[in-house]
Amino acid sequence: MVFPDLGQAEAIILQTVDAAVLVDCGETDSGPAILRELRRRGIERLDLVVLTHPHADHTGGFPYLAERMPVGLLMDSGFPSESALQAKVMQTARRQGIPRRRAVAGQTIRVGDSLSLSVLWPERRHLTGTESDANNNSVVLMVRHGAVHILLTGDLQQEGEFALLRRSPDLRAEVLKVGHQGSADAAGTPFLSKVRPRWAVIVAGRGNSYGHPSARTVERLRSAGATVLCTGLEGEIEFESDGRTIRPFSERLAVPAASR
Ligand SMILES: [Zn+2]
């Protein structure tokens, strides 16, 4: 699992011996960097692309990528967006003949021999009246690789977390991708007490003007027992799972090669 350093924009690569998945596609400018990253890892085809929600920092790179690499299936939250970018995303998927499916809680998708992705959120009837309904209806995925659990939350904020808690009591995961660039209203204590992550990953640009991640959020994550990793500090963050345990490795994290 790779979190490329794309500034504030987000994309997550899941790669196994026989499959590859991309969860979000960064912003429009991120397309070439993501494509390079995929090719560098020997990925020539994406079995699945998930767009967690229709904001430009998560979907922008999709048209560039989908025109240059085969995509087996596109899944998205179905949250409506009138933006020109969203129209381009949908038009590109149609033109490239990529089947599209709306992600609804309860679905599980197997990708290759060793990966399964369960959609935990959103429900068919979207949450409304929140600070950002687009964020709070993000596709939330529980990724399973053997016994390893990874929770990817898009830009879910606390209103979405509370709704998800009512629906899915079992949220335990070794790795949590923290919602919404680690802003103050992401990863609330009730949510963290259910997830109990060993590792928490925040995607946020170095020296960004939003003050992401919030110091309070980082403190909550640490109090919950997580080691916090942020792309703005570490650069690209990479994890390796053998199906029993998962651990980050990179030179900057100084995890000795022998213990990988
Ligand atoms: Zn967003």
Residues 201-255 pLDDT 10s: 998 877 777 767 878 888 999 999 999 999 988 899 999 999 999 999 865 554 4
Mean pLDDT of 174-191: 85
Rounded Cα–Cα distance for residues 6 and 203 (Å): 9
Residue 38 Cα to ligand 1 midpoint, Å, equals 23
Q: What is the pLDDT of residues 106-115, one digit of tens each?
A: 999 999 999 9
**Which residue type sits at 74?**
L
Least confident of 65-69, 72-76, 220-224, 242-246: 220-224
The model's confidence at residue 258, banded by pLDDT at 50, 70 and 90, is very low
Half-sphere exposure of 191 (CA within 13 A, CB side): 23
Q: What is the mean pLDDT of the chain?
A: 92
Residue 246 Cα to ligand 1 midpoint, Å, equals 27
Instruction: Give me the pLDDT at residue 207, please.
Output: 74
Residue 230 Cα to ligand 1 midpoint, Å, equals 18
Cα angle 65-201-168, degrees, rounded to a multiple of 5: 95
Q: State what percent of residues in the chain have pLDDT above 70.
A: 95
Residue 37 Cα to ligand 1 midpoint, Å, equals 23
Residue 53 Cα to ligand 1 midpoint, Å, equals 7
Instruction: Give me the pLDDT at residue 181, please.
Output: 81
Instruction: Give me the pLDDT at residue 257, please.
Output: 40
Instruction: Give me the pLDDT at residue 250, please.
Output: 61
Q: Domain 2-251: what homologous superfamily? A: Ribonuclease Z/Hydroxyacylglutathione hydrolase-like (3.60.15.10)
Instruction: Give me the pLDDT at residue 81, please.
Output: 95
Residue 257 Cα to ligand 1 midpoint, Å, equals 36
Instruction: Give me the pLDDT at residue 255, please.
Output: 45
- Ligand 1 is an ion; residues with CB less than 5 A from it: 55, 135, 155
Residue 103 predicted with pLDDT over 90: yes
Exposure string of 60-80, with b = 16+ CB inside 10 Å and e = fewer, is bbbbbbbeebebebbbbbbbe
Instruction: Give me the pLDDT at residue 186, please.
Output: 77
Exposure string of 237-260, with b = 16+ CB inside 10 Å and e = fewer, is bebebeeeebbbbeeeeeeeeeee
Q: State what percent of residues in the chain have pLDDT above 90.
A: 80
Instruction: Give me the pLDDT at residue 214, please.
Output: 79
Residue 99 Cα to ligand 1 midpoint, Å, equals 24
Residue 156 Cα to ligand 1 midpoint, Å, equals 8
Residue 134 Cα to ligand 1 midpoint, Å, equals 7
Instruction: Give me the pLDDT at residue 252, please.
Output: 55
The model's confidence at residue 18, banded by pLDDT at 50, 70 and 90, is very high
